[in-house]
Amino acid sequence: MKKPFLSALILLAFSALSHAQLMDGKKAFTKADTLRGMLTPLRTCYDINYYHLDVKIDLENKGVSGSNTFEFTATQDFTKLQFDLFANLEIDKILYKGKKIPFTREFGAVFVTFPKAIRQHTKDKFTVFYHGLPQIANNPPWDGGFIFKKDKAGNPFVSVACQGLGASVWWPTKDHQSDEVDSMLVSITVPKDLQAVANGRLRNIMNKKEGQKQYNWFVKNPINNYNIAFYIGKYAHWSDKYEGEKGALDLDFWSLAEDSALAKPHWDADTKPMLKAFEHWFGPYPFYEDGYKLVQAPHLGMEHQSAIAYGNQFKKGYLGRDMSGTGAGLKWDYIIIHETGHEWFANNITTKDIADMWVHEGFTTYSEVLFTDYTQGKEAGDKYLIGLRRGIGNKKTIIGTYDVNEEGSGDMYPKGANLIHIIRQLINDDEKFRNLLRGLNKTFYHQTTTTQAVEAYIIAQTGLKLEKIFDQYLRNIKIPVLEYKIVNNELNYRWVSDVADFDMPIKVSIKEGEYSFIYPSNDWKKTDLSPNITAENFKIDPNFYVQTKRVD
């Protein structure tokens, strides 16, 4: 049995992971939620091609000012569109072809009206100028906004985290995961004695007025809004290369100068072995053109594409703890492994709606299992996965509510990973499973997608009947119960499930020392057991996340 106090701690840890803004208690939805979460014609009428975000961070007053240029292609004729910016930030003007154009605001939505219709397939652009005091994150990254801290010497140490809450908390953007910008220039102006790090590659540093410098970072690959970030501080920087599947991958490391002696050996220990393991399982790192960076951040961590936020205090595990309780998780740094796993699942494969965030978090949590498997052996990986079940509450579905910007339960991390592990058991061939993962990243390369598309791909590639399994684990709260009884060396068994006609195969100990598949349904079935298998030593393969119930 689980110890209730320990289970509560693990559940708390999973609900407070670095890469999610989980809002589990949210039930009543408003018009503001719909404006934020729904794809209306005012959003689908244009496809974002390019942004130039050009901002100055006011460290003294904790503010931001600047502009963002939207370059887009019209998907239909229109005269009006929606972008997003939190209501507490002021819009100074919107320029189109050198002239101001009118706009209105409702909650976090901004509606722009153009002087004449923009025709389908036309490429066009407009620029939004704005300023204000963005929301401050009180407990980053679990509540979003700006983060203002100091290093040990009292220098500014500043960043932002906004997953779930939305990038429009600090810059004007089309704030919906379905439309990733194709490329982007991020220009950050800061005092000249500090550095500003962002996504992509550093193009140049320009001197500005009043003792300021502008750091210009270019992102060549498609990127989702919440991944755009900046890091400001007194940094040390060093570079390396990883010889990967697509050639030499540039590695850049940015730690606070005061922590560089500690950071370098710690980061070096995990980074290249991790990239080797992940490329083995998932295929090439998805953003060779933008390189790979680890950046020390004033919060625990986040999967900011090509600029991973790191704040795990240079400890193994999750702030020195093993999420699985097996000891395997103390042999590597949780934030480095998990957040980099998101480069494949969340950044390469991105869900259109945050309700499907289990695709990001379930597969990325499973990346921890696969890294453990690759470096410590399959038995260690399996034990690590099974240990993560301590964090599953089964109190809410792991798919959220669509069109209102609401994700599902925090169970999406360990429960999503266990669902993937079940599929791996049913495939029963790790090379086929590896090809499935690599195929996902190739098929959905740099795309936004849905749970349904991911399910359909897995079903088509495996040839397995997985529809009811997906329904049971993703769209229902409870996990299936295998009821069984043993009479005269005969096993009687059936599934009790929320999904009708649930028929997932499962491995059990029909013979001593090995597991074999049986094929339960909702109706009772029976099969013979070896004479030495009794009710006392009968076992279910622990790699299957199910409940069992022995009945008389």
SS3 sequence, 131-160?
EECCCECCCCCCCCEEEEEECCCCCEEEEE
CA distances from 145 to 23, 64, 295, 316, 541 (A): 15, 12, 18, 27, 44
Q: How many CB atoms sit inside 10 A of residue 312's CB?
A: 22
CB neighbour list of residue 430: distance below 8 Å, 6 or more residues apart? 378, 424
The pLDDT value recorded for residue 552 is 82
% of the chain at pLDDT higher than 90: 93
Q: Alpha-carbon distance 183 to 166, whole Å?
A: 19
Q: Looking at residues 384-393, what average pLDDT do you find?
A: 98
What letters, b where the CB count within 10 A reaches 16 and e where it falls short, cover 179-201?
Answer: bbbbbbbbbbbbbeebbbbbbbb
Fill in the amino acid letter for 516. S
CA distances from 146 to 37, 102, 307, 352 (A): 22, 29, 17, 25
pLDDT in tens, 240-265: 999 999 999 999 999 999 999 999 99
Mean pLDDT for the chain?
95
Query: pLDDT category, 122, cuts 50, 70, 90?
Result: very high
Q: Answer yes or no: is pLDDT of 20 > 70.
A: no
The whole model's pTM is what? 0.95
CATH number for 31-233: choose from 1.20.1250.20, 2.40.30.10, 2.60.40.1730, 3.40.50.170: 2.60.40.1730
The architecture in CATH of the region 4-28+316-474 reads: Orthogonal Bundle (1.10)
Render 208-231 in DSSP notation, one character per residue. ETTTEEEEEEEE-S-B-GGG--EE
Q: Alpha-carbon distance 194 to 5, whole Å?
A: 44
- Whether omega for the bond prior to residue 141 falls within 30 degrees of 0, making it cis, is yes
Query: pLDDT category, 19, cuts 50, 70, 90?
Result: very low
Query: pLDDT category, 391, cuts 50, 70, 90?
Result: very high
Q: What is the CA radius of gyration of the chain?
A: 25
Residues of the chain with CATH 1.10.390.10: 4-28+316-474
Residues of the chain with CATH 2.60.40.1730: 31-233
Angle between helices 358-376 and 334-341 (to 10 degrees): 130
Q: How many CB atoms sit inside 10 A of residue 90's CB?
A: 12
Alpha helices in 444-481 (DSSP H): 451-462, 467-474
Q: Which two tokens stand for residue 486?
A: 């043993």
Among candidates 112, 32, 18, which has minimal Cα distance to 300?
18
Query: pLDDT category, 27, cuts 50, 70, 90?
Result: low
CATH number for the domain whose boundaries are 481-550? 2.60.40
pLDDT in tens, 139-175: 999 889 999 999 999 999 999 999 999 999 999 999 9
The pLDDT value recorded for residue 428 is 98
